[in-house]
């Protein structure tokens, strides 16, 4: 096997804003991310349920991942496992996803380089493929986009966003 340590830059710490040229990527520390699945989970949740292109208004909310799955953000501590009373499967995912806010006037333009996305095309789910990587993507402000990406793919996503950020505007 070949020693490739020099081919790959050391993994980043992600504790400071990252300049993407036309936008800025800022790491977001969240208190808790909880994955909840269940046949009626979307109706059962008592937090604001965010789809695309909804804008998050509170610190505590839930994002819709698919028809039977949500992720509670900064929600209450919950016992992991099968909740028979509510028919819900619950897993703590607080360390599973790296979270970033993408800001800047070109933020949407940058996202369009990695995903077929439009504010005019709503979706109940925030799950997207961005530059070939699975992410949760939604808005926390008019032009502020929040991204959750699997922790192991965070370096790749940041690298791809940096590369795309070097491209000029498309309009």
Selected range binding another protein among 20-28, 44-52, 83-91, 136-144, rule: CB under 8 A: 83-91
Give the CB-side neighbour count of residue 52, counting CA atoms within 13 A: 21
104 binds another protein (CB under 8 A): no
Residues 6+ away with beta carbon under 8 Å from 154: 12, 14, 98
Judged by CB under 8 A, which of 31, 86, 105, 118 binds another protein? 118
Judged by CB under 8 A, which of 28, 48, 117, 140 binds another protein? 117
Residue 62: CB minimum distance to another protein, A: 16
Q: Burial of 77 by CB count in 10 Å (0-12 exposed, 13-18 middle, 19+ buried)? A: exposed
Q: Which of 106, 93, 89, 113 is nearest to 145 (CA)?
A: 106
Residue 46: CB minimum distance to another protein, A: 20
77 binds another protein (CB under 8 A): no
Judged by CB under 8 A, which of 55, 57, 58, 82 binds another protein? 82
In the structure encoding, which two tokens stand for residue 121, read together?
């095309």
Starting at the earlier edge strand, list the strands of the sheet with 24-27.
Answer: 18-19, 24-27, 97-103, 144-150, 133-141, 127-130
Q: Which residues bind another protein (CB under 8 A)?
A: 1-5, 7-8, 10-11, 35, 37-39, 68-69, 81-82, 84, 87, 89, 91-97, 109, 112-118, 120-121, 131-132, 150-156, 159-160, 163-164, 166-168, 170-171
């Amino acid at each position: 096997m070949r020693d490739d340590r020099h081919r790959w830059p050391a993994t980043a710490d992600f504790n400071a804003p990252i300049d993407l040229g036309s936008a800025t990527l800022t790491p977001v520390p969240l208190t808790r991310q909880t994955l909840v699945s269940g046949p009626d989970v979307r109706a059962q949740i008592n937090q604001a349920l965010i789809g695309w292109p909804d804008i998050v208004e509170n610190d505590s909310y839930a994002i819709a991942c698919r028809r039977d799955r949500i992720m509670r953000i900064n929600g209450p501590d919950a016992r992991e496992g099968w909740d028979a009373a509510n028919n819900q499967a619950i897993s703590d995912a607080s360390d599973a996803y790296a979270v970033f806010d993408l800001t800047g006037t070109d933020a949407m333009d940058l996202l369009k380089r990695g995903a077929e996305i439009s504010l005019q095309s709503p979706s109940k789910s925030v799950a997207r493929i961005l530059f070939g990587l699975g992410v949760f993507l939604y808005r926390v402000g008019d032009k502020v986009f929040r991204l959750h990406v699997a922790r192991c793919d965070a370096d790749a996503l940041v690298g791809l966003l940096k590369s795309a950020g070097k491209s000029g505007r498309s309009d």
